[in-house]
Amino acid sequence: MNDMTPTREQREARLEGMGCKRKRVEDIRFTQGKGQYVDDIKLPGMLHGDFVRSQYAHARIKRIDATKAKALPGVVAVITAEDLKPLGLHWMPTLAGDVQAVLADGLVSFQNQEIAFVVAENRYITDDAIQLIEVEYEEQPVIVDPFRSMAPDAPVLRPDLAGKTVGAHGPRKHHNHIFEWTIGDKPATDEAFRQAEVTIKEMISYHRTHPSPLETCQALASFDKIKGELTVYGTFQAPHVIRTVASLLSKIPEHKIHVIAPDIGGGFGNKVGAYAGYICAIVASIVTGLPVKWVEDRMENLSTTSFARDYHMTAEIAATKEGKVTGLRVHVLADHGAFDACADPSKWPAGFMNIVTGSYDFPVAHLAVDGVYTNKAPGGVAYRCSFRVTEAAYCIERAMDILAQKLGMDPADLRMKNFIRREQFPYQSALGWEYDSGDYHLAMQKAMDTIGYRELRAEQKARQEAFKRGETREIMGIGVTFFTEIVGAGPSKNCDILGVAMFDSAEIRIHPTGSIIARMGSKSQGQGHETTWAQIIATELGIPADDIMIEEGNTDTAPYGLGTYGSRSTPVAGAAIAMAARKIKNKAQMIAAHLLEVSEYDLEWDIDGFRVKGNPERAKTMKEIAWAAYNSPPPGLEPGLEAVNYYDPPNMTYPFGAYFCVMDVDVDTGVAKIRRFYALDDCGTRINPMIIEGQVHGGLTEAFAIAMGQEIKYDETGNVLGASFMDFFLPTAVETPRWETDFTVTPSPHHPIGAKGVGESPNVGGVPCFSNAVNDAFGFLGSTHIQMPHDAWRIWEAAKRLGLHA
Ligand code: MCN
Ligand code: CUM
């Protein structure tokens, strides 16, 4: 070995593989304004489309007159439901088995619903034309409160379904009922409650909110009449699914549809579904023969595409006097708005709400969810939600605190007492999941020790005494949360979208000089896949991450995948990447054996190549092997070095975390100051600790927003009150607290690299943690539950209800 030979550490470091805090390669273009977003794409002759929308939440449309608009110079077309009817495109199927009006078909069912699509030479003209379109309405009675939806005299919100007693997910109880979904052992659970020494019951609402990515939803459709080919650029979290849906709806063969998701400026679930804007842009391009772009504005985004939550959960826990939980019973009233357009896997009308037993060893449980229609925008699965895991975690984490309060127990101790123990994994939950792995006690203990939990409780006690003596008007809250996530949809036995199993894929191609292009079925919207996927390949194949290019989002080149949401990319596409790399590695081993003139079995892998066992001087690097694959492959072996893998995971992955929030609340102003927020996450093997930290920071910031103020609210006539950033709380660096992050590592036993997802964890754990802190602050004054969001006004009102104001 001469001085120039790199050490093992140097060879390892040069790869920037898994575990490395590699800087985000995509940020080079993002931070210089060189990203390529849909709105940056300009095609020759491109037209612009925009919607006439309803100002009413519920009304019959008596007349639409577009004569004046059509006469305006620059207007090319005005499309209404009547024009879509001959094409069969005035309604579209939703991912939840319902149908949704693309353009209002004689009836509007929520404010800002799409009525007509105006196509013109530019956005100024579309806006002017929209003003010229006359729509005559006949107002109908409005329902915004889901609790009134199923009243006997409630107006029929979906006349198109009148008389349908069976929906996509079974019987309907009422004309505004969508589905009832139940799971668990009801008789056994009811018995546990009859036997219980202690029970609690609380209606816990998780209000309606919205992901509001900075880039709104957009599409640019271009139909080539000569070739009969359709190209659609769009903000798609799941481009392949959009291609399949576009083919099924338009009857254009799937190979003649090119769906391309370029850079995306945040998705957060807002860009999973299929929207009227996509369909109208496509139709308009087919009709006009020119490219048509549709770009949502902020108000349209907040008020129409993909709301989040609106779950009203009545939770009951049965327990012993010592605080051992014996049963959980939950009923959910789920407000899905005017159409059931929830983007869940087909068989899961309430997503993975049945993770509501959380991190605790409930012997029995029962969950029932009723979905109902209201005159509000459709959607429902969005915003770092993991298919309703956010709602489930909020429900159980609030309920556990309420139980602790009733028992007079410390909420952290109550959790410790009921955690699933390490030796119980894989753990079969009462509501049907098999948790793959976890060490909850270890994580909780580490978190408590790090923040000095007992000392904080002592300080809080002293503060409460001082408050009672009238020496301070500030009370202190300590939010405790321990969440279990379920991500990685999913095993084909559980999960499909429109019948397509939710696998994911990777294709890796090594070039002769040893550099790599790799493509996946996932699609980054800011998560940093270009950085992290290269790290997995770097470690698996011994090629430096900088020599690996990652490409996602082009359905012509990427293998078919189900896209990025539900924190599924690492659990599913991440696994496919490792498996594809291992196929290549197997072939590389054959090539290396041939080059070194030994048997394959005499070789062992060593960081960046194969070496002969017992004779490490004799070795071939992956780079050398790559050259040989194209230059002198072993006789009988096909040349080249590439592989594809489609990965159908055997199970979901179950990340978890322990979060603590320390808060000081001024009862006179209602202002809550976050003193500390500590988040310990366990997402198994960590691919890039810096990216994980970024994901946690972002998710916690969104959790802070949701818990402390963000809301899509409606007045009783269905006017949406949170449709601009004037009214919708979007925290900036000024409001956002400082985050402390930490971790433990419990690898997933079934994932090829042991990694679990993390993208949504901070929102799943963060929201209950903030809410528990607010509730914990007021607990000693006799309050059990204060509904979110906890903005200063509502906190002030809570204080007033407790008699703290004159
Ligand atoms: N990662 C890692 N080690 C792990 C797990 C993840 O280094 N053990 C890295 C991954 O390699 C990836 C990132 O963390 O770069 C997120 O991975 P994962 O948890 O698998 O989540 P997805 O890539 O599937 O992203 C989806 C998730 C969801 S559903 C929402 S919503 C959300 C989130 O990601 N939307 C985001 N984070 C977001 N971050 C940004 N910037 N923008 C969004 O729109
Ligand atoms: Cu549920 S929001 Mo994410 O799954 O895109």
Mutate to test the pocket of ligand 2, among 311, 384, 525 (most ligand atoms within 8 A of CB): 384
From the centroid of its chain, how far is CA 474? 36
CB atoms under 10 Å from CB of 199, counted, come to 17
ipTM of the complex: 0.99
In short, whether 237's Cβ falls inside 6 Å of ligand 1 is no
Contact 693 CB / ligand 1 (< 6 Å): no
Residue 655 confidence class, pLDDT cut points 50, 70, 90: very high
% of the chain exceeding 70 in pLDDT: 100
Average pLDDT over residues 620-638: 97
The pLDDT of residue 62: 98
Whether ligand 1 lies within 6 angstroms of the CB of 527 is answered as yes
Pocket test for ligand 1, best of 271, 693, 695 (most atoms within 8 A of CB): 695
Token pair listed for 397: 């984490």
Q: Which of 158, 243, 309, 384 is catalytic?
A: 384
Q: Is residue 162 very low, low, confident or very high in pLDDT (cuts 50, 70, 90)?
A: confident
Q: What is the pLDDT of residue 514?
A: 98
643-to-510, 559, 577, 606, 646 alpha-carbon distances in Å: 9, 11, 10, 21, 10
Could you read off the pLDDT of 744-767 as tens digits, one per residue? 999 999 999 999 999 999 999 999
Task: Name the residue with tokens 């790599």.
Answer: 516
Active site residue 760: yes
Ligand 2 atom with least separation from CA of 564: 5
Joined together, the tokens standing for residue 539 give 């470690």
Q: How far is it, in rounded angstroms, from Cα 800 to Cα 777?
A: 14
User: Is 237 designated active site?
Assistant: yes
pLDDT in tens, 110-156: 999 999 999 999 999 999 999 999 999 999 999 999 999 999 999 99
- Pocket residue to mutate for ligand 2, from 381, 523, 763, most atoms within 8 A of Cβ: 381
Contacts of 89 (CB under 8 A, 6+ apart): 102, 249, 250, 279, 283
For residue 748, the CA-to-ligand 1 centroid distance in Å is 17
Look at residue 349 in the predicted model and tell me its pLDDT. 96
Task: Give CA 313 to chain center in angstroms.
Answer: 20
The pLDDT value recorded for residue 2 is: 57
- Nearest bound ligand to CA 379? 2
Q: Measured in Å, how far apart are the chain's first and last C-alpha atoms?
A: 83
- Nearest one of 204, 221, 182, 109 to 349, comparing CA atoms: 182
Active-site option among 296, 391, 507, 760: 760
Whole-number Å distance, alpha carbon 383 to ligand 2 midpoint, is 5
Q: How far apart are CA 635 and CA 597, in angstroms?
A: 13
Write down the pLDDT at residue 640: 98
Protein residue whose Cα sits closest to atom 35 of ligand 1:
268
Distance 549 CA to ligand 1 centre (A): 19
Task: Give the distance (Å) from ligand 1 centre to CA of residue 758.
Answer: 6
Domains of the chain: 8-35+504-647 (3.30.365.10), 38-140+216-264+272-304 (3.90.1170.50), 387-487+652-801 (3.30.365.10)
Is the CB of 566 inside a 6 Å radius of any atom of ligand 1? yes
Strand, coil or helix: what is 733? coil
Atom of ligand 1 at shortest range from CA of 683: 8
Least confident of 379-383, 428-432, 443-447, 520-524: 379-383
**Average pLDDT value for residue range 264-291:** 97
Q: How far apart are CA 359 and CA 396, in angstroms?
A: 9
Q: Which atom of ligand 2 is nearest to the CA of 525?
A: 5
Closest CA to 244 of 496, 41, 46: 496
User: What is the model's pLDDT at position 3?
Assistant: 66
- Whether 4 and 526 have beta carbons less than 8 Å apart is answered as no
Query: Between the CA of residue 550 and those of 43, 506, 518, 589, 743, what are the distances in Å?
Result: 26, 10, 5, 24, 28
Please work out whether the CB of residue 695 comes within 6 Å of at least one atom of ligand 1.
yes
Exposed e or buried b per residue across 188-197, where buried means at least 16 C-beta atoms within 10 angstroms of its C-beta? ebeebbeebe
pLDDT tens-digit readout, 374-403: 999 999 889 999 999 999 999 999 999 999
Confirm whether 675 is a catalytic residue: no
Q: 755 in ligand 1 pocket by Cβ < 6 Å?
A: yes
Q: What is the mean pLDDT of the segment spanning 418-423?
A: 98
The string of pLDDT tens digits covering residues 308-335 is: 999 999 999 999 999 999 999 999 999 9
Q: Which of the four pLDDT bands, split at 50, 70 and 90, describes residue 4?
A: confident
Tokens describing residue 523: 């699609």
Do 486 and 355 meet the contact criterion of CB atoms below 8 Å apart? yes
**Closest ligand to Cα 578:** 1
Here the tokens at position 81 are 């439901």
**Can you tell me the distance from the alpha carbon of 70 to that of 61, in angstroms, rounded to the nearest whole number?**
20
Residue 144 token pair: 């915004």
Q: How many CB atoms lie within 10 A of CB 605?
A: 16
Is residue 219 within 8 A of residue 278, CB to CB? The reply is: yes
CA 309 / ligand 2 centre spacing (Å): 12
